[in-house]
Structure 1
Amino acid sequence: MKFVIAPDSFKGGLTAKQAAETMAAGIKRVYPDAEYALVPMADGGEGTVQSLVDATAGQLVTAQVHDPFDHLTNADYGMLGDGHTAVIEMAAASGIQFINDQTANPLVTTTYGTGELILDAIKRGAKKIIIGIGGSATVDGGAGMAQALGVKLLKADGKPIGFGGGALADLDRIDVSQVDPRVAQATIAIASDVTNPLTGDDGAAPVFGPQKGATPEMVKTLDHNLHHYAQVIARDTGRNIEQAAGAGAAGGLGAGLLAFTNAQMEHGVELVINATGLKEKAAGADFVFTGEGGIDFQTKFGKTPYGVAKACKSVAHQAPVIVLAGNIGKGVDSLYTKDAIDAIFATPAGAKPLAKALEDARQDIAQTAENVARLIKATRQ
């Protein structure tokens, strides 16, 4: 019998790898001699780097880069087991964890450190880069990222503009002649399910700016500046990115990547499925276990358990897909389809405070996995 175990992390409790190992430990109490394929998963958000490193026997790399306020910090990214694919979470260098209520100011915060991570990965031999762009502290349109890659964003007097969304008002012209040629040779897959354009009512500034400290007046300024930025990009590079789906993601970092690198938007969970080889590992599976900290009706819109279920059912049609979750929310009935999820089980053993549930996560997940395995065994006798 073959079990494929491919969960996301249980945030605050277990990494995806730990969750997979814990589920396997519970099932092995019932099926000690079964075949097990453990595939740590993610959906392109927080935890993607660690999951892909674990799933591919890769390694974490630490680089000294600049945070959103241009201060030095250390940030990790992953080099996958194939030796030529890097995975980066932009939040590691440019994330919202670097700001607070007193310091948040998207007029000045920059994605420069994210560009430094991309460049470091390319210099280490990365030919493909997967970049998760959630959790940013910035609304600079990816301008800082571009500057780190060698793109010259110049004022009318030929001097570089400053950092942050506020500085985009000074942009007069763009010079890409000094960009390292290896940047153009690398392919970048942007892991994002955000479809917002760069500007307008649904753009980066109105939708995401307030989360990063933008006042209503700042939102107007940022949206105006991003429109100007997009116009200069179109004129000087020939790339029209202002209304591109996903251009507004991460305060417009999506736009910067589309404008200045060989990038394209992709669904996060699908990127992880491909990078981990999940479908190949799921071939011949008898049962699939997946899960994460919480599951509800939104899970079908790009979350890990639903993506895993669809992928595994495409190669192991008869294998039931079982989800273990720390919390089961509203609307999960919509997840039950013949080509997706077959059963969902809550893992906490009884009602308990969140802190206690996180403390008990490992033993509760293992016990639930064992209980499901015992049910499977009983129905097969």
Structure 2
Amino acid sequence: MKFLICPDSFKDSMSSIMASEEIAKAIKSILPTTNVSNIPLSDGGQGFLTTIQLLLATTSVTTLVTGPLIDKIEAKYLLLDDNQIAVIEMANIAGLELLPIEKRNPLFTTTYGVGELILHILNHYPVKKIIIGLGGSATNDGGAGMLQALGAKLTDSNNNEIPTGGQYLRDIRQVDLNSIDSRILGVEIEIACDVTNPLLGENGATYTYASQKGANYEIIIELESGLTNYSQRVLQSVSYDYSSYSGAGAAGGLAYGLLLLGGKLVPGFDLIAKYTNLENQIQLVDYVISGEGSVDEQTINGKTISRIATLSKKHNKPLLVFCGRSQGNLEILYQHGVTAIFPITNGATSLTNALSNARENLYNCVSNIIRLLAANNKK
């Protein structure tokens, strides 16, 4: 039997590289001579830079920027093609995993550091293109913080600039993008993400993802109101509306802010799949194995597993998905190309224990399934 392992990250517990290593180890423990190929994936979120580094010759640059809660943090970006292309992973700057669970609240988090990192690139390198991987964000500010760092003026009724954070978007009365650093307008921006949610509405950034970032129902209502006001003020300023664009809601609406800078949405999965020749790799194996932290109805919305499912179904390959948890009606995933979904948690346990034991649980769960496949293969 031949296996292709291509997981995404398991939030708060394993990177895609760690997960792929654990899965490979489990397979080899049962089938030591079997052929196993590893392609850790990223949809633009956690692990995006690491995956790029594995694939291409890069230079890494590190600098201090504002983190999701104002504190300064170290963040890095990659340079490619003689410093003509820079690659950013927003999860390294304003990502959910940078914060302990008790401090996660999108009312307070900001994308300001993303703008600071862009400025650092513009100040030091003659880039022609910036690729920004989205996903795994702790924010819901519609990219407002990033725009402010780049020079945009977002002011309240007293003509004072609003503070950063999702809670202040409702106070905006005027948006002035004319003061943004003009150098960014001469750079091609590729927004690497694989979600299709718009900025607003029941399928938008807030209602779909804010609860995963620490928001309760009352906070969600406040955040949606703020994003709505923000987008309306932008529309008054620039006379074009990206809020309904497919994907504008990615990373708490950071994609929306990048679209205002002339950015173009590019599927992050396609970017990685291109350099790994993923589709060809799928054709060569008997089983495809993927996984991520949580699998639910939203997984179908362009996320990594849904894209792998499409390719697996196209080439009639079984796709086994392992996850930290599964919930909701998953029938649409089975119809889309997923063969089976296996939550790895071992019995009733706390979230803390589930996260700390994730690698061991993944190993054990995969081992059991491989035992079944091996036994069936002997018949």
**TM bucket by the smaller chain?**
0.7 to 0.9
Q: Which runs of 5+ in 1 are unaligned?
A: none
- Give yes or no for contact 2:175–2:234 (8 Å, CA) kept in 1: yes
Q: Which runs of 5+ in 2 are unaligned?
A: none
Q: Which string of whole-angstrom CA distances, capped at 9 and with x for unpartnered residues, describes residues 265-322 of structure 1? A: 34554555446542243341221111223334443333333322223443xx243212
Cα 1:46–1:87, aligned 2, differ >3 Å: closer, same or farther? same
Tell which structure's C-alpha radius of gyration is larger.
1
- Give yes or no for contact 2:170–2:227 (8 Å, CA) kept in 1: yes
Q: Distance in 1 between matches of 2:69 and 2:307?
A: 36
Where in structure 2 are the equivalents of 1:219-230 lying within 5 Å? 223-230=228-235
| Cα deviation, residue 211, structure 1 | 4.2
TM-score scaled by length of structure 1: 0.73
Letter in 2 for 1:174: N
Q: Secondary structure at the match of 1:180?
A: helix
Q: Which string of whole-angstrom CA distances, capped at 9 and with x for unpartnered residues, describes residues 215-265 of structure 1? A: 97897676445423222123xxxx54354344455564333211213x123
Q: Out of 353, 367, 370, which is 1:370 matched to?
A: 367
In structure 2, the residue matched to 1:174 is 178
Q: Secondary structure at the match of 1:29?
A: helix
- Give yes or no for contact 1:5–1:38 (8 Å, CA) kept in 2: yes
| Cα deviation, residue 170, structure 1 | 4.5
In structure 2, the residue matched to 1:241 is 242
Q: Is 2:331 the counterpart of 1:336?
A: no
Cα 1:79–1:223, aligned 2, differ >3 Å: closer, same or farther? same
Q: CA RMSD in A?
A: 4.5
Q: Secondary structure at the match of 2:173?
A: helix
Where in structure 2 are the equivalents of 1:203-214 lying within 5 Å? 211=215
Cα 1:59–1:20, aligned 2, differ >3 Å: closer, same or farther? farther
TM-score scaled by length of structure 2: 0.73
Q: Distance in 1 between matches of 2:117 and 2:295?
A: 32
- Give yes or no for contact 1:49–1:89 (8 Å, CA) kept in 2: no
Percent of aligned pairs with the same amino acid: 30
- Give yes or no for contact 1:91–1:135 (8 Å, CA) kept in 2: no
Q: Which string of whole-angstrom CA distances, capped at 9 and with x for unpartnered residues, describes residues 322-345 of structure 1? A: 2223334343344324x6122333
Where in structure 2 are the equivalents of 1:162-311 lying within 5 Å? 164=164, 165=169, 168-171=172-175, 174-175=178-179, 178-180=181-183, 184-191=186-193, 193=195, 195-197=197-199, 211=215, 223-234=228-239, 239-247=240-248, 249-250=250-251, 252-261=253-262, 263-267=263-267, 269-274=269-274, 276-311=276-311
Letter in 2 for 1:29: S
- Give yes or no for contact 2:6–2:288 (8 Å, CA) kept in 1: yes
| Cα deviation, residue 8, structure 1 | 2.0
- Give yes or no for contact 1:130–1:190 (8 Å, CA) kept in 2: yes
| Cα deviation, residue 21, structure 1 | 0.8
